[in-house]
A = this chain, B = another copy of it.
Amino acid sequence: MYRTHNCGELRLEHAGQEVTLSGWVQISRDFGGLKFIDLRDRYGITQLVFDTEDNPTLGHEARKLGREFVVQVSGKVRERTSKNPNRDTGDIEIEVTDLKILNASKVPPFTIEDDTDGGDDLRMKYRYLDLRRTPIQENIIFRSKVGIETRKYLADEGFLEIETPCLIKSTPEGARDFVVPSRMNPGQFYALPQSPQTFKQILMVAGMDKYFQIVKCFRDEDLRADRQPEFTQIDCEMAFVTREDILNTFEGLTKHLFKAALDVSLPDFPRMSYDEALQRYGSDKPDLRFGMEFVELNDVAKGKGFPVFDAAELVVGICAEGQAGEYSNKDIKNLTEWMQRPQIGAKGLVYVKFEADGSIKSSVGKFYSEEELQSWGEKFGAKKGDMLLILSGETEKTRKQLNELRLEMGRRMGLMTPGVFKPLWVLDFPLLEWDEDSERFHAMHHPFTAPKLEDVAKMMDGDHETMKSLRADAYDLVINGSEIGGGSIRIHDRALQEKNFKLLGFTEEQAEYQFGFLMGAFEYGAPPHGGIAFGFDRLCAIMSGQQSIRDFIAFPKNNQGKDMMIEAPSLIDEGQLKELNIKLTV
């Protein structure tokens, strides 16, 4: 037996007990005839004391201990003279009588502390050391907890966890598949699933009624920041449901997770249509931790002789509270340049400052009278000290740019309060997006999403322009400006599914080859159904108030898709290639 207790559980009430602990040497300090060691494991840190004068043999052994050595110690729990109130075990220490070195450690290449001195690459290579750091360990523990609570909640709601296969069929639609050559079927390939979409629909056709799975998904995409080639979804599907059933179930799940994992009680989630979200925030995933809503100025700003606004489809702005005094001309210039970077692409930025002394300053002061500018301020509810920031141009682009500005001002003004969570359901997305380049429609959600019931007839019979106006019965859950997940009511009718594939540019043969099994299934009593999927890595990060998903994944890959620790991917030998009937072309 290696231990009677872990390093996080001893308290004053254990004083006098003989105990055995095992763990890692976090730090050691010498004080005259005493050696103090902090012993660490997943559960906490306990202070060990070696009386090196009374017991020189033990003292000699203890002096061998370096950082990250693994030891087993026995001794008596005693009350500390100087307690550490910041530590659960801070009232006690162990008077060590026996010490056994279970394993030595080389000096770690970076410090195993909350703030480490290790760079990204080094920490990826020695991931097992990075994972010993408390902040990362807490993330992994948090993720485990959220997973367990998700399963408890969904199982209690009657969902079955059903595993769908990993070796499936490649469908060139959407993102790139990872593929797996089949040795037994020469020349043929499996694909790794980008999501279990078609399988979960098949499970509904199979009568499973309520399905979920916490499941790995794979996308062979060029990795932008914070994308991983393999990621995890909370994936769900329900039969005989409308949108309302799904929103209620997953709002319930989300509330449960926040309560169980964070002790945060979320109120009912507001809902907003896609159109409204774009109009009010310029984004289909607005951060509602702060206001700064868009105010449109076409009626008051156009036709007054300012050519930029006059030529614009939309003049729209936000009001930055209390910022008039904070922004010098130089600051405004910098902000304008920030907006003009190619990533955002604004042409310019108009400001109106309502100074504390009651005066009004504006970059468009010569085009508008003070009364006019005052009336703009009223539209925003601006007070003395506030500053309007106004953009203009083509509607869609301008809204996107203003969204970036709103988020940047929110950051600068400290409005993205940690620990505050603002969930939002975004509803009624467009079904199809017209792509000018490829001259075809793309599915906004995916090809299996149903149009809203009232749009079905239009979809079957409408003309090209009508198709652009179709609304999908789709929904996203957004928290603090991040998309946690989304879903839709699915098509369960063969004719409608065929029509959708046609609109998306599939030939009949392509549709049949790729999704014939699903359309076939629809002919054998497919129930109405719908579902949703949450990004599990993202959900954990957002709940923890962190931006990056990487430290919620035990073994993430870097931006080149490499696992730096095991050095994968790697070469494989000729024999393997031969068995798989493939040859390299590099």
Q: Which of B162, B183, B202 contacts A220 (CB 8 A)?
A: B183
Interface segment, one of A274-282, A327-335, A576-584 = A576-584
Query: 1/0 contact trace for A547-586 toward B, CB 8 Å?
Result: 0000001110100111101111111110010111111111
Q: Which B residue's beta carbon lies closest to that of A144?
A: B160
- Copies of the protein in its oligomer: 2
Residues in B with CB closer than 8 Å to A565 are: 202, 517
What's the interface size class on A, roughly?
A: 35 or more
A425 to chain B, nearest CB (A): 19
- Is A312 part of the binding interface, using a Cβ–Cβ cutoff of 8 Å? no
Contact with B along A175-197 (1 / 0, CB 8 A): 01111111111111111100000
Q: Is the CB of B566 within 8 A of A182?
A: no
Q: A216 to chain B: which residues have CB within 8 Å? A: 163, 166, 216
> From residue A260, how far is it (CB to closest CB) to chain B in Å?
12
Given contacts A242-B1, A561-B185, A585-B583, contact A555 B103 (CB under 8 A): no
Q: Is A349 an interface residue when CB atoms closer than 8 A count as contact? A: no
A128, CB-defined interface residue at 8 Å: yes
The interface-forming segment of A73-81, A206-214, A294-302 is: A206-214
List B contacts of A527 (CB < 8 A).
Answer: 22, 24, 70, 102-103
Report Cα–Cα, A576/B324, bound state, in Å. 55
A148 interfacial by beta-carbon distance below 8 Å: yes
- Residues 226-250 of chain A: 1 if any B CB is under 8 Å from the residue's CB, otherwise 0? 0001101000000011100100000
Q: Are B206 and A568 in contact (CB under 8 A)?
A: no
Would you call A147 an interface residue if the criterion is a C-beta within 8 Å of the partner chain's C-beta atoms?
yes
Given the known inter-chain contacts A232-B163, A563-B168, A583-B583, please indicate yes or no for A128 contacting B2, CB distance below 8 A. no
Contacts of A147 in B (CB 8 A): 161
CA distance A578 to B585 in the complex (A): 8
Give chain B residues whose Cβ lies under 8 Å from the Cβ of A42.
207-209
Docked complex: A113-145 residues within 8 A CB-CB of B: 126-129, 131-132, 137, 140-141, 143-144
| Chain B residues with CB below 8 A from A517, complex form | 565-567
Establish whether residues A22 and B240, one from each chain, have CB atoms under 8 Å apart when the complex forms: yes
Contact yes or no, A132 B555, CB < 8 A? no
Bound CA span A557–B570, Å: 28
Q: Which of B108, B166, B183, B567 contacts A230 (CB 8 A)?
A: B166
CB-contact partner of A526 in B70, B144, B561, B579, under 8 A: B70
Cβ–Cβ contact B137 & A207, under 8 A:
yes
- Complex Cα spacing A104 to B525, Å: 6
Q: Which of A514-540 contact B (CB under 8 A)?
A: 517, 521-528
Is A105 engaged at the interface, CB distance under 8 Å to the other chain? Answer: yes
Contact of A172 among B1, B170, B206, B576 (CB under 8 A): B576
Q: What CA separation (Å) do A250 and B569 show in the bound complex?
A: 34
**Given A2-B240, A70-B525, A164-B554, 20 further pairs, Cβ under 8 A:** A24-B527, A68-B525, A70-B526, A72-B240, A103-B522, A129-B206, A137-B207, A141-B160, A162-B554, A163-B553, A164-B555, A167-B568, A172-B576, A182-B561, A187-B584, A188-B571, A198-B566, A202-B565, A517-B567, A581-B586
Chain A: residues with CB nearer than 8 A to chain B?
Answer: 1-3, 6, 22, 24, 40-43, 68-70, 72, 102-106, 108, 126-129, 131-132, 137, 140-141, 143-144, 147-148, 151-152, 155, 160-170, 172, 176-192, 198-199, 202-203, 205-209, 216, 218, 220, 222-223, 229-230, 232, 240-242, 245, 492-493, 517, 521-528, 553-555, 557, 560-563, 565-573, 576, 578-586
